[in-house]
Amino acid sequence: MMKENLKVAKQEMKEKTRPYQTYGYYLAIPIVYIVIFVLSFLDVNLSNVGMILFVFTILANIGASKLKLISKRKYVAPILIYVVNALGIVFLVPIFVEIASGGTGDATLGLIGLIVFPIEIIAIIFFFITANDIKKAYPMMAQDSKDAREAYLTLKKNR
């Protein structure tokens, strides 16, 4: 009986913390993108951050897909990020061809920047729009998350 209560409390905690966690992702991801843009203008290179952001975008998308109270535009920002990453893979071939033929790859990289940068700006805007939608749809998400976590930890402690 106690084990079943713990299991139910854990599931409830997952459900109650999902909006708050997803809201955090939808705020953090565009903020990190903006920081990366600013750092790139200052000639600071962060090599693995793109892959980390891609993984967090997937996690945010999974969390958002389970939130029923927000509109379908919750999918726009992650889809745009997926498109940007797919374009990066597609453009690897022309970059390698240009470098192999004695070029530097700069022309292709410039073209990628002209295509990818506006898509990333739109994705950032949609991340913020969706974060705002989550905040409106789940106004008590922080308190609900805290209460569910405390209830679960109390049950687990008393076990």
Residue with tokens 């809201």: 23
Q: List the domain range (segments joined by +) for residue 142.
A: 17-158
Evaluate whether residue 45 is within a structural domain: yes
Evaluate whether residue 2 is within a structural domain: no
Evaluate whether residue 73 is within a structural domain: yes
Q: What is the pLDDT of residue 119?
A: 96
Q: What's the whole-model pTM score? A: 0.87
Per-chain mean pLDDT for the chain: 90
Both structure tokens of 50: 């793109």
Q: What is the pLDDT of residue 32?
A: 95
Evaluate whether residue 37 is within a structural domain: yes
Number of domains in the chain: 1
Evaluate whether residue 4 is within a structural domain: no
Euclidean distance between CA atoms 84 and 75, whole angstroms = 14
Euclidean distance between CA atoms 73 and 67, whole angstroms = 12
Both structure tokens of 17: 């913390």
Per-residue pLDDT tens over the stretch 7-52: 888 999 999 999 999 999 999 999 999 999 899 889 888 778 889 9
Residue 45 or 146, more confident: 146
Q: Which of 50, 61, 65 is nearest to 120 (CA)?
A: 50
Evaluate whether residue 76 is within a structural domain: yes
Evaluate whether residue 10 is within a structural domain: no
Per-residue pLDDT tens over the stretch 39-96: 988 988 877 888 999 999 999 999 999 999 999 999 999 999 999 999 988 888 887 8
Q: What is the pLDDT of residue 6?
A: 84
3-state DSSP call for residue 31? helix
